[in-house]
Amino acid sequence: MISAVSQWARYGVPDDFWPIAILSILLCISGFIGGFYYFFRLRVLENIPTSKIRSAAQGYLELIGRGQLLEGPEIIAPLTGKSCTWFSYMIQERRRSRRSNHWATIKQATSDEMFLLIDDTGQCLIDPEGASVIPSETNTWFGTSARPVPGNSYSWKISSPGRYRYIEKRMHPGDDLFAIGFYQTVGGANSEINFNADVLILLKEWKSDSKQLLNKFDRNKDSRIDMHEWELVRKAALDEVMKQHSELTAVPTANILALSYSHRYRKTL
């Protein structure tokens, strides 16, 4: 039997050898980078301290508790109509081409409404915007219209699944919840206040609307803000910031976790 090396020596390297070799090398490199990234991420997650809400320090941490809805309107999953604390959904259409069939996403959305995480020491607002979430429940079903038929959400035929596929992921009130993110306490007498920085921000905002600034502070109507008038602008900005800070310290304290990663966990006995 003539070896591959002998064949290449006699007939030359096949035309498709280098594209396949380059593709294989790229796949190996991407696999190595991906594996290293997820290993590093796992180690970071393992090293983040688990905290109780009452004694949690400000900064990056993890909380374990139960998800609950805030008072007021419920969060409703769009496709199934179920009450939930978080949802994500996709509607896909089967599209055919000469070479293959594939599912094309025609509509999708993810919830960014806040909900609560409660443990045995207190409660914390969860802001899920942009977070990586592993849901407690995922439903996939098929139909013949671009929206699921109300009251018939999960019916489909194996032999003819339909032109459309619906995928909805959810987390529900009462689900055990594991959450990682940046934790901070806002409001109340302990609110962090930086008068100088907030005054500068407000002045920059006012200066961006020069017409309104002139209408309000150009006392001599010369179409410019002189030194005396600028002192009035600064004093007005300081008064406004002091008013805002006074209102902030008067509101009840709230704990907020800007969610980075979350999933439902199962208690071990």
User: What is this structure's pTM?
Assistant: 0.62
Measure the CA–CA gap between 194 and 180, rounded to whole angstroms.
Answer: 27
Does position 155 have pLDDT exceeding 60, yes or no?
no
Measure the CA–CA gap between 26 and 250, rounded to whole angstroms.
Answer: 58
> Are 158 and 221 part of one and the same domain?
no
Does position 7 have pLDDT exceeding 60, yes or no?
no
> Are 150 and 58 part of one and the same domain?
yes
- The answer to the question of residue 176 being in a domain is yes
DSSP string of 72-114, one letter each residue:
SSPEE-TTT--EESEEEEEEEEEEE-SS-EEEEEEEEEE----
> Are 27 and 39 part of one and the same domain?
yes
* Res 110: pLDDT: 96
Mean pLDDT to the nearest integer, 166-170: 96
- The answer to the question of residue 24 being in a domain is yes
- The answer to the question of residue 59 being in a domain is yes
> Are 71 and 164 part of one and the same domain?
yes
> Are 258 and 214 part of one and the same domain?
no
* Res 124: pLDDT: 95
Does position 187 have pLDDT exceeding 70, yes or no?
no
Mean pLDDT to the nearest integer, 155-170: 73
Among the residue ranges 26-40, 100-114, 164-178, the one predicted with the least confidence is 26-40
- The answer to the question of residue 269 being in a domain is no
> Are 204 and 87 part of one and the same domain?
no
- The answer to the question of residue 40 being in a domain is yes
- The answer to the question of residue 208 being in a domain is yes
Does position 221 have pLDDT exceeding 50, yes or no?
yes
DSSP bridge partners of 157: none
Does position 70 have pLDDT exceeding 80, yes or no?
yes
Measure the CA–CA gap between 47 and 10, rounded to whole angstroms.
Answer: 58
List Cβ neighbours of 217 (8 Å cut-off, separation of 6 or more). 225, 229, 232, 233, 236
Identify which has the larger pLDDT, 251 or 138: 138
> Are 238 and 112 part of one and the same domain?
no
* Res 193: pLDDT: 64
> Are 150 and 72 part of one and the same domain?
yes
> Are 106 and 178 part of one and the same domain?
yes
Among the residue ranges 15-29, 35-49, 72-86, 221-235, the one predicted with the least confidence is 35-49
The answer for 184, left when phi > 0, alpha when psi is -120 to 50, beta otherwise, is beta
pLDDT tens by residue, 25-36: 777 676 656 444
DSSP bridge partners of 127: 258
- The answer to the question of residue 160 being in a domain is yes
Per the structure, how many domains does the chain have? Answer: 3
Tokens of 149: 């038929």
> Are 67 and 176 part of one and the same domain?
yes
> Are 147 and 246 part of one and the same domain?
no
Among the residue ranges 48-57, 108-117, 118-127, 202-211, the one predicted with the least confidence is 48-57
Among the residue ranges 24-38, 114-128, 212-226, 241-255, the one predicted with the least confidence is 24-38
Q: How confident is the model at residue 262 (pLDDT cuts 50, 70, 90)?
A: confident
- The answer to the question of residue 66 being in a domain is yes
pLDDT tens by residue, 10-26: 555 455 555 666 766 77
pLDDT averaged over the chain?
Answer: 80
Residues of the domain holding 93: 53-187+254-264
> Are 202 and 158 part of one and the same domain?
no
Q: What percent of the chain has pLDDT over 90?
A: 35
